Amino acid sequence: MIDLRSDTVTRPSRPMREFMLKADVGDDVFGEDPTVNTLQEKIATLLHKDAALFVTSGTQGNQVSLNVHTQPGDEVICDYHSHIFNYEAGAAGMLSGIQLHPLMGKYGHPSLEQISEALRPKDDHYPQTRLICLENTHNRAGGTIFPLAEIRRIAGWAQVYGLKMHLDGARLWNAAVVTGVDLAEYAQYFDSVSLCFSKGLGAPMGSIVAGSADFIRRAHYYRKAYGGGTRQVGIVAAACLYALDHNIERLREDHQNAKILAEALNKSAVFQVDMAAVQTNIIIAELKTRDRNAPVAVQMLKDNDILALPFSTTKIRFVTHMDVRREDIEQSIRIIKNIFG
């Protein structure tokens, strides 16, 4: 079975597992796990932030950050297709008592003009805008990269109006590999950044948030409140350290495989792909005809040993990752041609 549903389906390699076995551990709630501390220090250094905090998932990292930056009743500007608006179980309202103000950005990237138009007036009738959340790369838009120049414009404007900036950088590694832009250069425009190790980097679990010392102090409190305080978690943090040292540059292979598969899908009789959106490792393929919907097409693929994810009634997501080789892509293309023409 060739699994193209997500880059979260990767399994830790044997060398990663062996590295995990050797991890020094301690009680992380007390700040005594040496492997976690090493990971946090390494990420803080990479992003040029004061400190970092290991969290169990990207959702937890984003929600802890929202909670730190806001008060109940505040409003957060984000993209309509962003992860925090669509895939975090309504946690912003449930946990922080805030509301999200989603904007329809091009390729998942709201412009400064859209964001400035969404700023609430200083009037008691309105919720007050406190935070801007951007996503890079953008999942639902197809792994698109947020242009650095536009991030810079938005951050400069946000500073003038006293707004905080949070980056959902679950796949920021992918953006950095494609653009050559250093992680710290992206991170400098944000008050907080979340990164994920369990997607393209292949760790079994784990994300991290970084920011100022005060931000991390408060984030530690919310992580505990959300049930995210863990004990001898250095075993998992070791996998993340291994991923940082061995699995970032190899993301280029995923990007190349995605481009090859996207081009083949686009030439098929059934699918069309916006090739401008295929910038990293995610492909959103839309069905050209209405005689079969996405769930039906996904089932047909599954019956022929390819797993993909229905993204709407007419769209299917394919994601390349470290457990998918070039031979798997070539085999997938042959199967798709055989099924759909």
Read off the pLDDT of residues 92-116 as tens digits, 9 standing for 90 and up.
999 999 999 999 999 999 999 999 9
Q: Tell me which residue has tokens 């250093």.
A: 182
Of 198, 227, 246, which one is at a domain's C-terminal end? 246
pTM greater than 0.85 (yes/no)? yes
If you average pLDDT over residues 77-96, what whole number do you get? 97
Compute CA distances 49 → 187, 212, 311, whole Å: 8, 6, 35
Of 246, 275, 300, which one is at a domain's C-terminal end? 246
Asked if the structure places residue 8 within a domain, the reply is no
120, 134: one domain:
yes
Among 325, 242, 256, 313, CA closest to 20: 242
Asked if the structure places residue 5 within a domain, the reply is no
CATH number at residue 117: 3.40.640.10
Asked if the structure places residue 2 within a domain, the reply is no
187, 259: one domain:
no
144, 275: one domain:
no
Whether 289 has a pLDDT exceeding 90, the answer reads no
Measured distance CA(148)–CA(150) in Å, rounded: 5
Whether 290 has a pLDDT exceeding 80, the answer reads no
Among 121, 69, 129, 135, CA closest to 99: 129
Domain hosting residue 110, numbered range: 14-246
> What domain count does the chain have?
2
54, 76: one domain:
yes
Asked if the structure places residue 152 within a domain, the reply is yes
Asked if the structure places residue 1 within a domain, the reply is no
Can you give the pLDDT at residue 340? 87
Of 230, 246, 262, which one is at a domain's C-terminal end? 246
Q: Tell me which residue has tokens 């197809």.
A: 142
Asked if the structure places residue 231 within a domain, the reply is yes
209, 308: one domain:
no
Question: Over the chain, what HEC string results?
Answer: CEECCCCCCCCCCHHHHHHHHCCCCCCHHHCCCHHHHHHHHHHHHHHCCCEEEEECCHHHHHHHHHHHHCCCCCEEEEECCCHHHHCCCCHHHHHHCCEEEEECCECCECCHHHHHHHCCCCCCCCCCEEEEEEECCECCCCCECCCHHHHHHHHHHHHHCCCEEEEEECCHHHHHHHHCCCHHHHHCCCCEEEEECCCCCCCCCCEEEEECHHHHHHHHHHHHHCCCCCCCCHHHHHHHHHHHHHCCCCHHHHHHHHHHHHHHHHHCCCEEECHHHCCCCEEEEEECCCCCCHHHHHHHHHHCCEECEECCCCEEEEECCCCCCHHHHHHHHHHHHHHHC
36, 163: one domain:
yes
* Rama region for 272: left / alpha / beta (φ>0; ψ in -120 to 50; rest): beta
Q: What is the CA radius of gyration of the chain?
A: 20
219, 331: one domain:
no
Can you give the pLDDT at residue 185? 98
271, 317: one domain:
yes
Asked if the structure places residue 9 within a domain, the reply is no
Q: Of 46-50, 96-100, 137-141, 267-271, where does mean pLDDT reach its minimum? A: 267-271
Share of the chain above pLDDT 90, in %: 98
Read off the pLDDT of residues 269-279 as tens digits, 9 standing for 90 and up.
899 999 999 99
- Band of the pLDDT at 143, cuts 50, 70, 90? very high
Whether 24 has a pLDDT exceeding 90, the answer reads yes
256, 224: one domain:
no
273, 323: one domain:
yes
Is the Cβ–Cβ distance between 12 and 239 less than 8 Å? yes
Asked if the structure places residue 7 within a domain, the reply is no
131, 166: one domain:
yes
Average pLDDT along the chain:
97
Is the Cβ–Cβ distance between 318 and 261 less than 8 Å? yes
**Structure token pair of residue 195:** 């990164």
67, 152: one domain:
yes
Whether 253 has a pLDDT exceeding 90, the answer reads yes
CATH number at residue 284: 3.90.1150.10
**Structure token pair of residue 302:** 């599954």
- Band of the pLDDT at 341, cuts 50, 70, 90? confident
